[in-house]
Amino acid sequence: MTNVKKPAISGLPLVLGILLTASSRAPADDANEHAGHDAAMFGSAELSPQLTLHGFSDVTFTLARASGGGRADSTSSGAALGQFDLYFVSRLENNLSFLGETVFELGPSGETGVDVERVFIKYTWSDQLRLAVGRTHTALGYWNEAFHHGTLLQPTVERPEALKFEDDGGILPVHSVGLELSGEARSGDWSLAYVGNVANGRGPRRDIVQGGSDLNRDKAVGVKLTLAREREGRIALGPALYRDLIPADPTTPGRGGEIEEVVPGAHLHCRDRHAELLVEAYGIRHHDRLTARTFQHRTGYAVVILRAPRWKPYLGIEAIDFAPGDPFYAPDDADLDRLTAGLRFDLNPFNAVKFEFRHDRRGGGTTDAFMVQTAFTF
C-alpha cells in the first residue's frame, strides 16, 4: 500500500509545477506568436494600422410657426437629437490611409437607423495625385467637401436645403460610390486643385445612393476645379460639373423612363481675419428619355460670417427654383426662399452653441423658426 501511494503523492507537485510553469509562460509565448502574425501581415510593428476614433453629435431645440400654407413638420417645435456620428481614421502606411464614417439617427417614429455615410481607402502618391476608392462626398462645390456630417464643423444649424443628405430631402447627389481622383498644384501664393468622381450615380429615387450595384451601365462623372490664392486671407473659386443617367422606376407613376441629369455649378470662398463668405450656385437639368421633356432647376446659397475669436454672427440666404412637372422631384417639392440670421459661440474647440432665426417662404406660405443647437465632438 505504501509503495503504491508514494508515486501519486510525489507526482502531484510535479504536475502542479508543470501547469504553473506553462501558465506563467503562456502570455509571453502568445505575445510572441501574435507579434509574429503581425509582422507577417504588416511587415513590422511600426507599420501596423494607427486607428483614431472621433465622434460628433448635437441637440437642437426648435420653436416654429407656420402660416398661409407654410410647412411645419413633426420636428418643427421641440427637441431633436442629431446624428450620432462615429468617425474612424486609420493610417496604414505613409501613403495609404482609411476613413470610415457611420451615423446612427432617429427616424420620425422613433426608430433608429444606421447609415454608412463614408468609407474609403486612399492612396497618396504626391500632393498632385491622390486616389480614393469607396463611398465619398461628391465633388460639387465647397460645402459638401469642407463640412461633413458633424454639425460642429459647419457655421449654421443645418446644411443648405439643396445640399442636405439624400435621406434628409436634399436635391443634389452629395454621395458617390466609386473612384475619386484629386490633387493640387502650387506656385507661390496660388494653387489649382482638382477633384474628379467616377461612380455608380443616383438610384431611381433621390434618397437612394447605389452602393451595392448599379442599375444601369452608365456611370456618374463629376469634376471640380478650385483656383485659390492665400496671403493674409484666402480667396478660392471654381466651376463644377456632374453628369449622370438616373435609372427608371417602373413602380412609381410617371417614372417609366431614364432621366439624363447634368448639374453645372460654381463656388466662391473668401476668408480673412474679420469675415468669411461662402457662395454656391447650381443648375440642374433633367431630360426624361421616355417623354422627351426637359426640366431646368436652379438653386444656390450665400453665407457671410464675422470672425470674432469666439462669437461668430452670420447671415445667409438661399433659394430653390423648381421647374414644375419633373417626375424625379415631384410631387412634394416646392420653391424655397430662405433668410437666416444666427450667432455661433464656441465654448471651446469641442463644443459650440448656435442661436438661429430662419424665415422660409415655401408652398404659398411662410414658416418662422427659432433654433438653439449645441454641437460637440468627442
276: closest CA among 137, 142, 152? Answer: 142
If one counts every other C-beta atom within 10 angstroms of the C-beta of residue 18, the result is 10
Question: Residues 16, 119: one domain?
Answer: no
Question: Residues 141, 220: one domain?
Answer: yes
Instruction: Give the structural domain span for 2.
Output: 1-45
Question: Residues 211, 274: one domain?
Answer: yes
Q: Is the pTM of this model over 0.85?
A: no
pLDDT at 313 over 80: yes
Predicted confidence (pLDDT) per residue in 70-117, tens digit: 555 544 689 999 999 999 999 999 899 999 999 999 877 778 889 999
CB contact at 8 A, 90 and 50: yes
Question: Residues 151, 286: one domain?
Answer: yes
Strand intervals (E) in the chain: 50-67, 78-81, 84-93, 96-106, 112-126, 129-137, 175-187, 190-199, 220-230, 234-246, 259-271, 275-288, 294-306, 311-321, 336-348, 351-362, 365-377
Residue type, 266: A
Q: How confident is the model at residue 266 (pLDDT cuts 50, 70, 90)?
A: very high
Using CA atoms, how far residue 226 sits from 72, 183, 205, 266, 291, in Å, is 38, 11, 30, 10, 37
C-alpha cell at 121: 481607402
Question: Residues 274, 211: one domain?
Answer: yes
Q: What pLDDT is stored for residue 76 in this prediction?
A: 65
Distance CA 159, CA 164 (A): 6
Question: Residues 118, 17: one domain?
Answer: no
Last residue of a domain, one of 29, 45, 61: 45
Q: How confident is the model at residue 284 (pLDDT cuts 50, 70, 90)?
A: very high
- Mean per-residue pLDDT, 300-318: 96
Using CA atoms, how far residue 144 sits from 137, 159, 174, 336, 360, in Å, is 7, 9, 7, 20, 22
- Mean per-residue pLDDT, 363-378: 94
Q: Which residues contact 140 (CB under 8 A, 6 or more apart)?
A: 163, 172, 173, 174, 222, 224, 240, 242, 263, 265, 280, 282
Predicted confidence (pLDDT) per residue in 139-189, tens digit: 999 999 999 889 999 999 999 999 999 988 899 999 999 999 999 999 999
Question: Residues 38, 161: one domain?
Answer: no
Q: What pLDDT is stored for residue 69 in this prediction?
A: 63
pLDDT at 260 over 80: yes
Question: Residues 87, 152: one domain?
Answer: yes
More confident of the two residues 361 and 252:
361
C-alpha cell at 258: 431614364
Q: How confident is the model at residue 47 (pLDDT cuts 50, 70, 90)?
A: low
pLDDT at 302 over 90: yes
- Mean per-residue pLDDT, 253-261: 92
Question: HSE on the CB side for 26, CA within 13 Å?
Answer: 7
Question: Residues 271, 245: one domain?
Answer: yes
pLDDT at 22 over 80: no
Q: What pLDDT is stored for residue 14 in this prediction?
A: 35
Residue type, 30: D
Distance CA 137, CA 209 (A): 11
Question: Residues 80, 104: one domain?
Answer: yes
More confident of the two residues 185 and 29:
185
Residue 207: CATH number of its domain: 2.40.160.10
CB contact at 8 A, 70 and 367: yes
Question: Residues 59, 85: one domain?
Answer: yes
Question: HSE on the CB side for 315, CA within 13 Å?
Answer: 2
CB contact at 8 A, 177 and 202: no
CB contact at 8 A, 357 and 315: no
pLDDT at 235 over 90: yes
Q: What pLDDT is stored for residue 72 in this prediction?
A: 54
Domain count, the chain: 2
Q: How confident is the model at residue 213 (pLDDT cuts 50, 70, 90)?
A: confident
263: closest CA among 132, 327, 165, 171? Answer: 171
Q: What pLDDT is stored for residue 108 in this prediction?
A: 73
Question: Residues 3, 105: one domain?
Answer: no
